[in-house]
Amino acid sequence: MKTVRFKIKRQQSLDTAPYWEEFEVPYRPGMNVITALYDIAKNPKTADGKATSAVAWDANCLEEVCGACTMIVNGKVRQSCSALVDALQQPICLEPMTKFPVVRDLRVNRKRMFDALKRVKAWIPIDGTYDLGEGPKLSPQDQHIGYALSKCMTCGCCLEVCPQYHDRSPFVGAAALSQVRLFNLHPTGKMQEEERLETIMGEGGIEDCGNAQNCVRVCPKDIPLTTSIADLNRKTTAYALKKFFRS
Amino acid sequence: MKKWVQEHHFLIRKIHSLLGVVPMGVFLMEHLITNSFGKFGPEVYNEKIEWIQGLPYLLAMEIGIIFLPILFHALFGVVFLWAWKDNSLQYSYSRNWRYTFQRVTGVIALFFIGYHVWKFRIETALTGIPVNFDLVAGAFQNPLVFYFYFLGMVSIVYHFTNGVWSFLVHWGITVGPRAQQISTYVCAALGLGLLYIGLDALWAFV
Ligand code: SF4
């Protein structure tokens, strides 16, 4: 029987030491990393036959739009649902992302990303005590840019590869910055433009970007992250000058 | 200190980036050209040095245009290193390597400039040894000093020209990928040009 070999970095909880285990699962044509993880869960035995606990992982949409199954596959961060076994070298090495705290095995807690979105107010406030009516129209050009930016699934690939994003640094990272561009582009969102710019001009904001530009290379949604960052550089610089000369 | 830096983060970063180009980058180019007078022999070189040493307000210019900007740029450059967690070996994209080299060359440049300023500005001022062609040529007799200058020259030219590239992004001048690609070529050409001028002048003293 043809089998596929896996090498998985396991960790029971955040404060226990990680260890490696190898697994062997039956090969099926077209299988991906997630289907293999299901096979391991069905029969949690290491490659040399020892019984072990099932490997924990996150997955949801299984079509590369939710970001939940992001992990490091053979040294590169990506979604494991679209990581086809046929295209990978064996043993396939699976590790949890390194920039977020491990919950268990391949499952991490991306809370820091959601906190960043809250910090930069990545939404458009429309709630009020009365009906605000329809908002202004969005030009087709802006729709085009906005659509590309709106595809972000908060997977964290861009942060995993960012040399400026880690536990010593308060950086909000490329994903949240790009969302600032998205919501400042929107005619209703624009009403909070200066507030968002102020936020990213503070601690952990845009100035923490080091221009390594890895983010744009790995984003599975091809979001023009470096363009977003440079655009925000322009906006924050213009805003700072305006603020200074009008003060 | 850390808290203060974070509160004034935007301003400090912008000043840090601006100083790297003006006046530091402009001074670097001026300095490299002045060095090149060494190619015309000791007499011409010494004449130019004397001309510079005879400039009015020299000390004020040195402090205001050279020492203080370098001090600010170096101090905060080192402070910013805390946010650097390198991964160029794992994700070896060329931009990532340039990010790494920018930091490595910055640190080399810091040591080099410290040595250079001490040797040819402060020590000579204290002891009264005249700064001239022979002093430089004498120092270069020691191969260690010469190779240190070689390394310092390469590092500073890289740090400056790659810094110009980053400056253009940081100030929101080159925004899209095409503009940034073209600016890569322009900065690389500037770097190679300056490197030629810088190294050619080094060899004039051996
Ligand atoms: S910007 Fe791209 S890489 Fe970053 S979180 Fe969003 S989808 Fe993932």
Query: In which domain, by residue range, is B61 found?
Result: 2-205
Specify the residue with its C-alpha closest to ligand 1, atom 2: A219
Partner-chain residue, chosen from A75, A208, A227, that has the shortest CB–CB distance to B176 = A227
What residues of A are in contact with residue B84 (Cβ under 8 Å)?
A: 163-164, 210
Whether the Cβ atoms of residue A32 and residue A13 lie closer than 8 Å to each other: no
- In tens, the pLDDT along A236-245 reads 999 999 999 9
CB of A221 within 6 A of ligand 1: the answer is: yes
Percent of chain B with pLDDT over 90: 96
Q: How is residue A104 written in tokens?
A: 């268990």
- pLDDT of residue B99 exceeding 80: yes
- pLDDT of residue A17 exceeding 80: yes
pLDDT score for A177: 98
What residues of A are in contact with residue B88 (Cβ under 8 Å)?
A: 163
Find which of A93, A97, A203, A214 to mutate to test the B interface (most B CBs within 10 Å of its CB): A214
Domains and their CATH numbers in chain A:
3-108 (3.10.20.30), 111-246 (1.10.1060.10)
Residue B34: CATH number of its domain:
1.20.1300.10
- Please indicate, yes or no, whether the overall pTM of this predicted structure exceeds 0.90: yes
Buried b or exposed e, range B139-154, using 16+ CB within 10 angstroms: ebeeeeebebbeebbb
What is the distance in angstroms between the Cα of A34 and the nearest Cα belonging to chain B? Answer: 24
pLDDT-based confidence at A126, cuts 50/70/90?
A: confident
Find which of B90, B171, B183 to mutate to test the A interface (most A CBs within 10 Å of its CB): B90
Distances (CA, A) of B124 to A22, B117, B119: 66, 10, 7
pLDDT-based confidence at A133, cuts 50/70/90?
A: confident
Please tell me whether the interface predicted TM-score (ipTM) of this complex is above 0.85: yes
Nearest chain A alpha carbon to B163: A211
CA proximity to A70, closest of A117, A34, A41:
A34
Supply the mean pLDDT for chain A.
Answer: 96
Q: How is residue B10 written in tokens?
A: 């935007």
pLDDT-based confidence at B7, cuts 50/70/90?
A: confident
Range A78-100 average pLDDT: 97
Total structural domains in chain B? 1
Cβ-proximal residues to A161 (8 Å cutoff; 6+ apart), any chain: A77, A214, A215, A217, A218, B87, B91
Hey, which residues does A26 pair with through a beta bridge?
A3
pLDDT score for A132: 78
pLDDT score for A125: 86
- In tens, the pLDDT along B156-165 reads 999 999 999 9
- pLDDT of residue B119 exceeding 80: yes
